[in-house]
């Protein structure tokens, strides 16, 4: 909504109106582009309820709270050069083969390419629009993460041995589980308060999430995020 000051010159008012209309037109165009190109794989509006079948059949992560989850600079970068974040796919069981040596991921069943590549302009416009999708903001209002220093050795031990995160996630490219997304780039792609909130209560964001709620105290949540942020620069 644009509120005009009647004492301003008509030319300035007209210019302000045109800028506002142009911004609305661009936003509408970005929304249309995202809806056309993303809705077949991503949920863009918050559903009334989630079912396990919906969760198991997802082709891509929900985007209706993308603005509260992702870092915009990462979105722009990734959309131009998509890299696999989930080694086992959106739902790992759909791509798992049971063998005598243990369960392995059937690489041939994973989507290839990972994601369509966008031009720089389309990536920037799409990311800008996705940042306006901010459902569940109330969950972030409860977070107040303050970064603290942590040694890589102790952080890795806490991640793998004390919290057991490595059973589902990787904190480096060649080590850890594959049922969940890799986390060695988590701090680059995810907002810090989203990470603390999701670790605190995964089901508040995804009701059918298989990630357990460990009911960690604030200090325990923060230590995990401190470690993930440490990995960002590695």
Residues 51 and 100 reside in one and the same domain: no
Domains contained in the chain, number: 3
Residue 101 counted as domain residue:
yes
Residues of the domain holding 47: 9-81+118-134
Q: Residue 198 is part of a domain; what is its CATH number?
A: 1.10.760.10
Residue 2 counted as domain residue:
no
Tell me, what DSSP letter sits at residue 64?
T
Residue 110 counted as domain residue:
yes
pLDDT at 138: 97
pLDDT at 29: 76
Residues 151 and 224 reside in one and the same domain: yes
Residue 100 counted as domain residue:
yes
Residues 44 and 152 reside in one and the same domain: no
Residues 36 and 123 reside in one and the same domain: yes
Residues 143 and 205 reside in one and the same domain: yes
Q: Does the CA dihedral 189-193-199-203 come out positive or negative? A: negative
What's the chain's Rg over C-alpha atoms?
Answer: 21
**Pairing mode, if any, of strands 102-105 and 96-99?**
antiparallel
Mean pLDDT in the chain? 89
- pLDDT tens readout for residues 34-52: 999 999 999 999 999 889 9
Q: How far apart are CA 212 and CA 206, in angstroms?
A: 11
Residues 122 and 61 reside in one and the same domain: yes
- As a whole number, mean pLDDT of residues 65-90 equals 97
pLDDT at 218: 96
Residues 95 and 65 reside in one and the same domain: no
Residues 126 and 103 reside in one and the same domain: no
| Local confidence band at 28 (pLDDT 50, 70, 90 cut-offs) | confident
- Name the phi and psi angles at 180, rounded to 5: -115, 175
pLDDT reading at 177 higher than 50: yes
- pLDDT tens readout for residues 127-139: 999 999 999 999 9
User: 69, 99, 134 — which closes off a domain?
Assistant: 134
Residues 211 and 154 reside in one and the same domain: yes
pLDDT at 10: 55
CB 60 within 8 A of CB 41: yes
pLDDT at 88: 94
Residue 4 counted as domain residue:
no
CA distances from 16 to 19, 20, 26, 27, 129 (A): 5, 6, 15, 17, 22
Q: Is the model more confident about 74 or about 22?
A: 74
- pLDDT tens readout for residues 80-103: 999 999 999 999 999 988 777 767
pLDDT reading at 3 higher than 50: no
pLDDT at 135: 97
pLDDT at 1: 41
Residues 151 and 231 reside in one and the same domain: yes
Residues 129 and 39 reside in one and the same domain: yes
Q: Which residue has the tokens 């041939």?
A: 108
Residue 16 counted as domain residue:
yes
Residues 39 and 147 reside in one and the same domain: no
């Amino acid at each position: 909504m644009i509120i005009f000051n009647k004492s301003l010159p008509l030319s300035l008012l007209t210019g302000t109106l045109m800028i506002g209309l142009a911004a609305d037109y661009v936003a509408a165009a970005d929304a249309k582009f995202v809806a056309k190109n993303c809705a077949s794989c991503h949920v863009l509006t918050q559903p009334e309820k989630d079912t396990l079948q919906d969760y198991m059949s997802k082709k891509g992560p929900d985007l209706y709270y993308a603005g509260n989850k992702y870092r915009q600079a990462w979105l722009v970068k990734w959309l131009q050069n998509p890299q696999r974040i989930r080694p086992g796919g959106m739902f790992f069981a759909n791509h798992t083969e049971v063998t005598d040596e243990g369960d392995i991921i059937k690489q041939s069943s994973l989507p290839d390419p990972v994601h369509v590549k966008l031009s720089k302009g389309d990536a920037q416009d799409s990311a800008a629009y996705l940042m306006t999708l901010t459902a569940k903001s109330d969950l972030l209002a409860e977070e107040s993460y303050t970064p603290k220093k942590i040694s890589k050795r102790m952080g890795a031990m806490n991640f793998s041995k004390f919290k057991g995160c490595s059973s589902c996630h990787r904190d480096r490219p060649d080590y850890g589980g594959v049922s969940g997304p890799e986390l060695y780039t988590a701090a680059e792609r995810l907002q810090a308060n989203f990470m603390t909130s999701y670790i605190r209560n995964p089901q508040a964001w995804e009701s059918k999430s298989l990630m357990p709620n460990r009911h960690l105290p604030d200090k325990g949540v923060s230590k995990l995020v401190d470690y993930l942020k440490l990995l960002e620069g590695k």
